[in-house]
Structure 1
C-alpha cells in the first residue's frame, strides 16, 4: 500500500521519509501536505516500539496508532469531513484495533457548549485494506470492539456530567434505560435497603435530599444459567462534599466524578450486553450523595452494616468504603459469584503513590490479581498490585465497634482495602482504586483531557480471557 501511494505521489512519500529521517517508531508521525492533485494530505504513523520502552501488545500499539492518526488528522489544519486510514498488509490483522483507537480518540463532551470549542471535524473515517478477506475479518472483529467503545463512551459521559444533572435518581434512570440492550435491571430503594440492613451505605446518604439507590444489572450470556456470575461492584457517590468532614473548596468540583467506579461498571455491563458475551455477569452500584446537613452522619457515629459488623465512622469523607461494604457483603451472600471486582475513586493516597499511570490493585487471590494485571497490560489500562497484610488490618480495629473507617495517613490506601476485605468473606476478590486514572488533566494516547472511561477495556478483556478458559 505504501508503494502504491508513493507511486501515486511521484515518490513524494519515500523522499519525505528519507529527508526527515522517519524511522517508523511508535509515536512518530510525518505529515505531507498536498502531495498530489488528488490528496489534500498524507499522515504516516509509526508503529515500531522504541528500544527499551515499556512492552505493549501488538493490538495496543495499533490501537494507539489509530488514535494518533485521528489526532494528527484533526490537528493538521487539513481535516475534512471524510478521512481515510490505509492499513498496510503486514498489519491488516489489527485493522479493527486501529479503528477502535481512532474512535476512542474522537470522543468529545460538548453537551453544554452552545458552540463547541473543539468540535470533531472528521465525521466519517474509512479504513482501506488491500484484500476483501482482510476487510471482512476486520469488520467481524469490529462488532465486538465497537461495543467496547460504546461502553467507554457511556462511562465517560456519566463521569463528565455535573452533579445537578447526574444525581442518584437520574443515574438510576439512565441505568434502567439499558434494559433495551437485554440487561436485567433491579433497583433497591431506601426502604428495601433498610430492610436488608444497609446501615453503612444509608449512613452516607442521610445528609442529602436525594434518595439513595442500589442498582443491580444482570447479563445472562453463559450457556448455563447455573454458572456462577462474575460480579463487578462500583462506588457511585454522585457528589462528595466530604459530609461533616468537609473537603477544602479548592478542587471540590472534581468530586462530581466520585461515581467513576459505578460508571465503569455500567459501561462494562453495557459492553458485555452489546457484544453478547458468553458469560453470566452482574454489576452492582450504590448511588448516593454525600452532603453536610442537619441530618448528616457525624464523626463518631457507629453504624451496622449489611454483614452485621459495626463501623465507627471517624471521618465522613471516608465514605466510599462504607458504600462498598454493604454492596460487597450483599453481592457475596445473595449471588454467590465466582469472583468480585470492585472499582472506586477511593483514596487520594493512591494518586500520591501511583500518579495517573497505574490504578491500585488489591486482592485476596493471587491468580485473580495476575489475570487482572495481564488484562491491564494488554489494554494499556495498567494496574499495580499493592501489599496487604495483618499488620495493616489491625490498624482499623476500633475500641468501641468492630472496626473504624480510617486508620491514619500512613498506608491509607492499603487500610481502605483492608476495610473492604472484611466484607467479602471467602469470595475471590479484587479492589481497583482508580482515583488517579478515571480523570486526567491532559490528553493521553486514547483520550482527551477529562474522563477516561478507565476500566471498561481492562475488564472486558478480563471477561474475554475468562470466556476463553471456560
Structure 2
C-alpha cells in the first residue's frame, strides 16, 4: 500500500553502504558541523551557484551515495511566527527533487539549530514531509517503492505505522466519486484492516440503515437506487491487550460526493466535492496506524458514515422532519448541510458505547463547513463542548498540532449557537441549518456542534450530569487538501499525526 518505507541506515551509509542512492539534507544554513565532508561540498557549490541555500538544489557528489546530494533549505526558522511546517515543506520538496532525479533509496539528514521547542519533533515531521512529497494516487499504475533512511534517530516503527495510516487517509480522501463511492470505500477499509487486530463491521442493509441511522439514510435516500452509490456505515473497533484506561470514540464524515442535494451547488461550487469524505478518510487512517502500533491501555471505536448526497426523484428536501437515532425531531433547513446529519447518527451510536466505556472521549472529524475556511484559512477548526473545554482538551490538541505541523485554531461554543438550531415550531426539536451557505452565516462553523450535541443526545452529558463526556469537533474543511490546490490538490492526511501524538500524551 505505502510507496514509502522508513529505515535506520548504517552510520556510514551516506558513503555508499546499503545501496542508498541520494543524500537529502534539510537545513537552515547548511553549516553541517557534524558532517565536514558534506560541508565542503556545499561550500564549494555555494562559491559558484547563488541558488545554494535559497532553493532546492541537486549537487553532483562523487563518492556520496548515488553521487547525489540534494539541499533542501528551510529558510530562516528563527522568526517568532515560524513553525515546523517549514521543515515539512523543505523535506517534501527535496524528496520530490530526489525522486525526479531517479533516486529510490534516499538518506534523510536534518541539520538544524537545537533548543527551540517549536522544532522538538522536526526529525519526524521531516520524514512525514518526504512521505507527502512522494505519495502517488492509487490509480497511478507505476508505484515504485522508495526507501527513506532516517539519520537523526527517529522511531522507524512508529513512523512506518503513521505513514501507512496517512497513505490510507490520502487514498480514501483523494479517490474520485466512483473509485471511492460508499461501497468501494467500505471495501477498501475491509482490505486495509484484513490483517490487523481490529473488529470491523460494515452495515449495508438499507432497512437496517434507515432504522438505525435515519438522518444519514435521508441524505442517501435517492442514492439507494444505485447500488454502487448506496450508503454504508463502517465500524472499526480496537481493543488492547490488558486493562483499558481510556476510550476514544470517533465519528468520521464520509460524503463521497456532495451535489448539495435539492439545495444544489451551483456556479462551479460542486467541483472538488469528492473530497467531502476527508473526515472518514482521516479516521480510517488513524485507525490503521493504531492497529499497527497496538498501544496498551486505550480502546478506540470509530464509525464512518459513507453516503453520496445526490439529487433525484427520492432526494430529501428542506422542511422535512426526520427523527434522529437519539430521538430528536430534526427539521431540514438546507440539504447542503448534510454532513451534520451523517455525524449526528454516528455520534448517537458512539454515545451509547461511551455510556458503558472507561474514561470516554468523543471526537467528530469532518470537512464540514466553508465557514471554517473563511475564518481560519488552511487550519483545522476545533470546537469543544463544555467538558472538553474545562479539561483544556482543545488547548492540548493545539499544542500538539503545532509540534507536528498540523496547526489548529480553537473556537468557543456559545449560547447563540444553540439558538441557531432551536426548533421554530412545535413540530420539531431542532433546525439542521439556516438556508444559506455557511460562509455567509454568522458563526457558521461553531453552531453545527450545537446541533450535533442536541441531535445525538450528547447534550445529556454536560458538566453537571452523572457522566460528563468530553467531545471535540474537528472541522478539517480547510486542512484536508493542500492549500495550493484546494479542489484537486493532494490530500494532507490531517489530523492523523496530531491524533496519534495526543493519544500517546493522554
TM-score normalized with structure 1 length: 0.83
Match of residue 429 from structure 1: 471
Offset at 1:68?
3.9
CA distance in 2, matches of 1:440, 1:30: 20
Offset at 1:327?
1.0
Match of residue 214 from structure 2: 199
Matches within 5 A, 1:333-348: 333-336=352-355, 337=357, 338-348=360-370
Match of residue 52 from structure 1: 79
Distance 1:42 1:185, change over 3 A: same
Q: Paired residue for 2:243, among 196, 201, 224?
A: 224
More displaced, 98-107 or 451-460? 98-107
Residues 100, 146 of structure 1: 8 Å contact kept? no
1:85 matched to 2:85: no
Give unpaired runs (5+ residues) of structure 2: 1-13, 15-31, 115-119, 462-468
Deviations 1:254-284 (A, max 9, x none): 1111111111110000110011122211111
Offset at 1:23?
9.8
Residues 147, 275 of structure 1: 8 Å contact kept? yes
Match of residue 152 from structure 1: 166
Offset at 1:47?
5.5
Residues 235, 260 of structure 1: 8 Å contact kept? yes
1:439 matched to 2:484: no
Distance 1:34 1:222, change over 3 A: same
SS at match of 2:263: coil
Match of residue 303 from structure 1: 322
Give unpaired runs (5+ residues) of structure 1: none
Offset at 1:12?
3.9
Distance 1:93 1:343, change over 3 A: closer
SS at match of 1:253: coil
Residues 307, 326 of structure 1: 8 Å contact kept? yes
Match of residue 307 from structure 2: 288
More displaced, 90-99 or 229-238? 90-99
SS at match of 1:432: strand
More displaced, 303-312 or 402-411? 402-411
Q: Paired residue for 1:403, among 430, 439, 445?
A: 430
TM-score normalized with structure 2 length: 0.78
Residues 96, 142 of structure 1: 8 Å contact kept? no
Offset at 1:61?
6.2
Residues 231, 281 of structure 1: 8 Å contact kept? yes
Offset at 1:103?
2.3
Offset at 1:334?
2.8
SS at match of 2:343: helix
1:360 matched to 2:381: yes
Residues 88, 405 of structure 2: 8 Å contact kept? no
Match of residue 17 from structure 2: none
Residues 396, 403 of structure 1: 8 Å contact kept? yes
1:163 matched to 2:177: yes
Residues 204, 289 of structure 1: 8 Å contact kept? yes
CA distance in 1, matches of 2:38, 2:135: 33
What is the aligned residue count? 438
CA distance in 2, matches of 1:412, 1:89: 41
SS at match of 1:252: coil
Match of residue 384 from structure 1: 409
Residues 87, 122 of structure 2: 8 Å contact kept? yes
